[in-house]
Structures are given as structure tokens and as C-alpha cells.
Amino acid sequence: SNSSSDTDHTVKRRNSGSLRLVDTEMADTIYDPWLHFAISFAALLHDVDHRGLPNATLMAEHDPVTEKYGDPKCLSSYAEWNSADIGLNLLLSEQFSELYSLISNQSKFCNTVRNLILCTDIASKPRRDICMRRWDKACTQSGRSSLDTAVTDSTTKQGITKLFSQEAAQTISEQIMLAADVSHTMQHFEVFMRWNGSLYHEILAAFECGRTEAHYKARLVGGVDNAKPVHPKENWFASQIGFYDFYIIPLAERLDSSCAFGESIKFAPLAVSNKKMWIEKGNEYTEAMVSEALRMELKMPT
């Protein structure tokens, strides 16, 4: 476990992934209480046994999970498959047999939990495309082929056309899970800065020990100047702005348009506000964060 993937991080995701239990008779809709439990459970399991390294690095290092989940259908989401299997195997163990026996449609529940965890591999373009196709098909009136084209698209103006369908329930659940994965970006700015710092420490630790994807690519083209890995601090400020523009704000707009948390709870305004605050204070904060990291003993990835 690492600073950005520790118990507090799990609690953050669990809490942010929780929905109100409303109509218990609304099976196969976004109001299905078993779906709510699956979302919370998936958020709790997410990042279990995380190594502090991205999937690309796990593949470059021939980590055992890359062999275990090397089938093309796994789409190279090694860490996510590993987390899902560890958690679900524990649920299926004798220790939790009573809890498991209470779950309605156990096979469907386990598949839902697994799919929710897998969708958080946002570094995988195929996974992002799958999620966006589901969203377009179930919840919007116009099509988008991938996350990359959803930068300025205001989903809130399109509306949800089939909120009570099983397909809409699945894709809205994925959006909730994606938001839980990065929930610090849609909370108060102090919360965002705390977890942003933890992420920097995790990425810096991998950089310091030469275990980033860029390091492995550089070794393949040894001696080429433009292939040398760039220190995380160099583009940290700009990369956060890009992340808000290309991912966080469109995600928040989709979540708001689903009304999954009710009409009164909106995430996009906080995301937009945090981006504005980052533009104003991010350079200063980044400098302080970099200086602090120099005095820290970073926990190296396992």
C-alpha cells in the first residue's frame, strides 16, 4: 500500500461511492439497493493490493499479475483485475458466507462489482471507450465515440432518456465509481490539495527508483535525448489543468445530469471552482509540494 492508495484513500472512495437507499422495489434501475451495495463494495475494494505502479510499469517489469491477467479480454487492466479478484474471493470465503447468502442474484452482483472496478482503469483507452459507448447508448441523445471527444460536451443539456432502464443503471453506476475514484477533485480545494500531494509523492517515488513507464521506454531507445524521463514536477501544474478539462469536468457534468444524488447535489460547480483555484494558486502550491517532498522519506513502490 502507498500514500495515495492507503486505508484513508479506500475510505474516501467508499464514502464517495455511497448512494441513498431509496425505492427497494426498483430492481435493475439506478434505485436498486443491491446496486447501491455493489457500488459501495467496489469502492471499498478498489486499489486493494495496489503496488504504487501503473499497469504499464507492471507489464514492463513482467509482474506476476500480468501473466495471470494476460488474456486480451482483460485489456491489460492488471491491477484492477487483481483487486477485484482478491476482494470477491474474500467475500466468497467461509468467513463471509452469511453475508454472501443474503445477496440477491449473487452472480450478477459479483459481475457488477468486478465491472465497476475495471472501469476505473482510465489509463486504458479501450476501457474509457467502452464506458463512453455505454453512456451514449443508455443515457444521451447524441453519440460520442470516446472520452477524448467529450471535452466541452455539456451532457447536462442532453438529459437522461432512459433513467429507469438496466442499461442506464449500469452506466450511471460506472460514472459514480469513476467519480469516487477521483472524488478529491470534486470536493473542497483543501481536500483536493491533500490528495494531489499524495499522488505526487506516489509518482515521485516510482520516478526516483526508475520504475515509471517513461523510464522503460527510455531504455528501449537508449541515448536518445528526447526519450529521457521528465521529472514529475516539470509539468505538474499544467497537467492538473488538463486533467480537469479533459476528464474531471466532463465526468462531473455526466454525474450531475444523471441526478443519481438528487437534484440538489451537483459536482460540476466544485470541479470548475477547483480548477479556477488551481490556476490561481497551483504554481505556488506545486513549488511548496516539491520542496516538502525533498525533505520526506518516500515510500517506494513494492
Is pLDDT of 157 > 50?
Answer: no
Per the CB < 8 A criterion, the answer to whether 216 and 225 are in contact is no
Take residue 2 and report the three cell numbers written for it: 502507498
- Mean pLDDT of the 178-204 span: 96
Confidence bin at 3 (pLDDT 50/70/90): very low
How many other β-carbons are positioned within 10 Å of the β-carbon of residue 130? Answer: 17
- Mean pLDDT of the 46-62 span: 94
C-alpha 101/C-alpha 44 separation (Å) is 20
| CB-based burial label for 72 (10 Å; 0-12, 13-18, 19+) | exposed
- Please give the pLDDT value at position 10: 47
Say which residues have a Cβ less than 8 Å from residue 63's Cβ, sequence separation at least 6: 51, 78
SS3 state of residue 244: helix
pTM over 0.75: yes
Mean pLDDT of the chain: 85
Say which residues have a Cβ less than 8 Å from residue 15's Cβ, sequence separation at least 6: none
| 223-232 long-range Cβ contacts below 8 angstroms, 24+ apart | 231/207, 232/200, 232/203, 232/204, 232/207
Per the CB < 8 A criterion, the answer to whether 185 and 271 are in contact is yes
Is pLDDT of 237 > 90?
Answer: yes
